[in-house]
A and B are shown apart, each in its own frame.
Chain A
Amino acid sequence: MIAALFYNPLPLSFETQLWLLLPLCLGVAIVYKAVRTHDLRRLPREVGFLMGYMVAGLIVLCVLVWLVVRYWP
């Protein structure tokens, strides 16, 4: 079962694909902050803040692109 999971691709729908952005952002935030933070005990807090910024940025970008697509003459 596990061997098949890493052998055959998963059939993903478009909606599922979008949700997979969140773990990717989390991974980026964790590694970036693990390298940059001065105090490792503050890592979860700093990861949370960075994750929030990234998700907010993606939402703003998403709205901007939607506006361009919707109202571009």
Chain B
Amino acid sequence: MAVEKSEKRSMPLPYAALVLAWLVPGAGHVYVGRLGRGVVIFVTVSALFWAGVGIGGVLTVDYYSERWWFAAEMLTGIHGLVGWYRQKAVYNRLPQMRGASLDEKLKNANLALVAPGETVARAYAGVAGLLNLLCIFDALMLSVMGVTGEQPPPRAPSGAAAAGRARP
């Protein structure tokens, strides 16, 4: 009975895995006991997202002009939220910037996205989000199936065992 209770307690909660995996990329995998994968996912997704912001600048995450890319970028969780906060801070400063139109103001402040880099920057940040979606789904499925920790790799059947199985 006591063993059953402890087993129940150690089962990962799907909602917790879902929220953790979204909020911090890789945290969902760490939650289900896959630390190595979680670290690899965190480093890669973070590097891709911030490389995108590095290439495109603060307006790479832009709620107003690029809604679909924005939705993809928000899948990176905390990174996307920080990017959104920084973008909002720029838009809040717009009245103090010189220029007649929005484009002119951003251009005068050197914030407007430069043409060739725009696509690459948004692709980096957006793809980071879509990859994290894959990781969120994986962490969720692992927790739903109750899989914790690393599973042993599947062994190739030995010659005798394979021959025995092949017999009618």
Contacts and interface: CB of A to CB of B under 8 A. Distances in A.
B138 A20 contact: no
Nearest to A26: B44
A62 interface: no
A20 B41 contact: no
Nearest to A30: B44
A15 to B, nearest CB: 9
Contacts of B154: 38
Interface of A is mostly: helix
B127 A28 contact: yes
B120 A27 contact: no
A13 B57 contact: no
Interface stretch (B1-9, B111-119, B157-165): B111-119
* Main SS class of interface, B: helix
Nearest to A5: B54
B58 A30 contact: no
Nearest to B113: A9
B127 A9 contact: no
Chain A's interface size range is 20 to 34
B55 A12 contact: yes
Contact of A31 (B45, B111, B118, B124): B45
B120 A8 contact: no
A35 B137 CA distance: 10
Interface stretch (B65-73, B97-105, B128-136): B128-136
A14 B134 contact: no
A24 B53 contact: no
Contacts of B111: 7-9
Interface string A10-25: 1111101100100110
B123 interface: yes
B47 interface: yes
Nearest to A17: B116
A40 B118 CA distance: 35
Given A17-B117, A43-B40, A10 B54 contact: yes
A64 B2 CA distance: 65
Nearest to A7: B58
